[in-house]
Amino acid sequence: MSHYESQVREPLIIGHKTYHDITEDIARPIENKSGKLWWFAFSIALVTFLYGLGCIAYTIGTGIGVWGINRTIGWAWDITNFVWWVGIGHAGTLISAVLLLFRQKWRMSINRSAEAMTIFAVVQAALFPVIHMGRPWVGYWVFPVPNNFGSFWVNFNSPLLWDVFAISTYFSVSVVFWYMGLIPDFAMIRDRAKKPFSKKIYGILSMGWGGKAKHWQRHEELSLVLAGLCTPLVFSVHTIVSFDFATSVIKGWHSTVYPPYFVAGAIFSGFAMVQTLLSVMRKVMHLEDYITRQHIELMNIVIVVTGGMVAVAYLTEFWVGWYSGSRYEDFTYFSPGAAVGPYWWAFWALIICNVLVPGLLWIRKVRRSFFWTFVISIVVNTGMWFERFDIIVINLSRDYIPSGWTMFMPTFVDVGIFIGTNGFFFVLFLLYARTFPAIAQAELKTILKSSGESYKKHHTEDDHHHEH
């Protein structure tokens, strides 16, 4: 056989599968009707989404003062949630682009859903820069468009403008990368469709794809180059998001470790979100043979590695805060002032959720357990929300002038909008899971013969025969 793979590697596709079985398994959720559970989850998500929309409308109609922010703390839940959602999105690109460059075959059964997660998370993130504006109706002024004010341009020195470029590039390139991968899979659904309506829809979506040899050659080149472009893109986007803080003069924000540290945190929380989603998805959509314990363990290892990087960054901040000799640095993020100050609970929530609990993933039994993976993934995302909250609010609450010191208390509108974005995210994700091929079947079929369980067994037997 031409497919050689070391027997040390665990199979990535369980059971005796053929190419056709993969097609069937991936098409099943699209071709069958939604179950009660789906409608239940979708209803809850839709209601929370609508509630969040109401809160957004209330904010825009009444004024930004309905939020808990004040004259000292001008950024709080809005930008916390923005950074949190952008961070969640990053794992999707990491899985589809970085793991492609490293030729990691295990990415193939998870990349489609991870990319969907990216896109839906970036949609949530992109809401915040708009709705946190005092006058969102002139939000289009951030674009350098020729105009009637003597062509009054934008200021390219601001990281908030870099954000506009970074987020819109990230979103649009992610969508295109995802879509290009979906074309052959939509074609597969199109060719199976029995109802004229779905045949029409998937016919439009698949753009006439036929799987010609030349087209596949170009498709693989396109995927590789897009992966090569997305990898620096994903690093740059969260770097630019971190510049919102790092380029400021606020103590605790003005830190050169932010760009890599934010990126590590983004991967950390993003992978946690992938784990949360996939551990449910594999059960509900019966994809256990494709999203295996091995996939879960490998993602947990990525979480441990990036969690370690984040922990090192916390220590660095702590150390540099002391080493700087600046008295202002004593109240910063991760400095003694933060640990025992009025926001001590937020500080310790972060240490427990981001450093101590994910540390359990060093234990093999824990990181191979579906149950503990699910629990820890939620803990990590809670911790990463607190990380952004701590960075933003703790540093702002105690700034250079003590007469400006204050506290922040969110209002129901702050909370409502955040819950609403969670609802919106799940509305999109649940719709995706019913209508899109959740696994990149064309990619998965390329590794069936090298990483499928029955094929691997077959190879072992072959080797055995050769020895005698």
Partner 1 sequence: MSTKTIYGIYGDDEDLLKAVRSFNKEGIAIKEIYTPFPVHGLDKAMGLKKTRISDMAFFYGLYGTTLATTMTWFMMNHDWPQDIGGKPSFSWLENMPAFVPIMFELTVFCAAHLMSLTFLVRNKLYPGAKAQNPDPRTTDDKFLMEIESSDIDKVKEAFINTGAEEVTVRDLNIA
- The site for partner 1 (CB under 8 A) is made up of 2, 18-20, 23, 144, 151-157, 159, 161-162, 165-166, 169, 172-173, 176-177, 180, 183-184, 187-188, 190-192, 203-222, 224-226, 229-230, 232-233, 236, 240, 243, 441-443, 445-446, 449
Q: Kindly state the smallest distance separating residue 161's Cβ from partner 1, in Å.
A: 8
Q: Compare residues 32 and 157 and give the one whose CB is closer to partner 1.
A: 157
Q: Compare residues 242 and 276 and give the one whose CB is closer to partner 1.
A: 242
Enumerate the H helices of 258-411 as residue ranges: 258-284, 293-323, 336-340, 344-351, 364-367, 370-389, 395-397
Rounded CA separation 444/216 (Å): 15
> Long-range pairs for 222-228 at CB < 8 Å and ≥24 separation?
222/180, 223/100, 223/177, 223/180, 223/181, 224/100, 224/101, 226/97, 226/173, 226/176, 226/177, 226/180, 227/96, 227/97, 227/98, 227/100, 227/101, 227/177, 228/97, 228/101
Rounded CA separation 383/310 (Å): 11
Residues 6+ apart with CB under 8 A from 397: 72, 73, 342, 343, 405, 406, 407, 408
Q: Compare residues 264 and 448 and give the one whose CB is closer to partner 1.
A: 448
Residue type, 77: W
Q: Kindly state the smallest distance separating residue 179's Cβ from partner 1, in Å.
A: 8
Q: Give the phi and the psi of residue 240 in degrees, each rounded to 5.
A: -65, -40
159: tokens are: 């990281």
Rounded CA separation 234/112 (Å): 17
Q: Kindly state the smallest distance separating residue 122's Cβ from partner 1, in Å.
A: 14
Q: Compare residues 187 and 413 and give the one whose CB is closer to partner 1.
A: 187
Rounded CA separation 182/264 (Å): 28
> Long-range pairs for 150-154 at CB < 8 Å and ≥24 separation?
none
Q: Compare residues 1 and 37 and give the one whose CB is closer to partner 1.
A: 1
Rounded CA separation 96/94 (Å): 6
Q: Compare residues 104 and 217 and give the one whose CB is closer to partner 1.
A: 217
Q: Compare residues 188 and 311 and give the one whose CB is closer to partner 1.
A: 188
Q: Kindly state the smallest distance separating residue 387's Cβ from partner 1, in Å.
A: 23
Q: Kindly state the smallest distance separating residue 5's Cβ from partner 1, in Å.
A: 13
Q: Compare residues 255 and 354 and give the one whose CB is closer to partner 1.
A: 255
Q: Kindly state the smallest distance separating residue 217's Cβ from partner 1, in Å.
A: 4
Residue type, 79: I
Q: Kindly state the smallest distance separating residue 304's Cβ from partner 1, in Å.
A: 30
Q: Kindly state the smallest distance separating residue 22's Cβ from partner 1, in Å.
A: 8
Q: Compare residues 215 and 254 and give the one whose CB is closer to partner 1.
A: 215
Q: Kindly state the smallest distance separating residue 202's Cβ from partner 1, in Å.
A: 10
Residues 6+ apart with CB under 8 A from 337: 330, 331, 398
The DSSP string of 222-274 is HHHHHHHHHHHHHHHHHHHHHHHHHTS-STTT--TTHHHHHHHHHHHHHHHHH
134: tokens are: 């005092």
Q: Kindly state the smallest distance separating residue 111's Cβ from partner 1, in Å.
A: 15
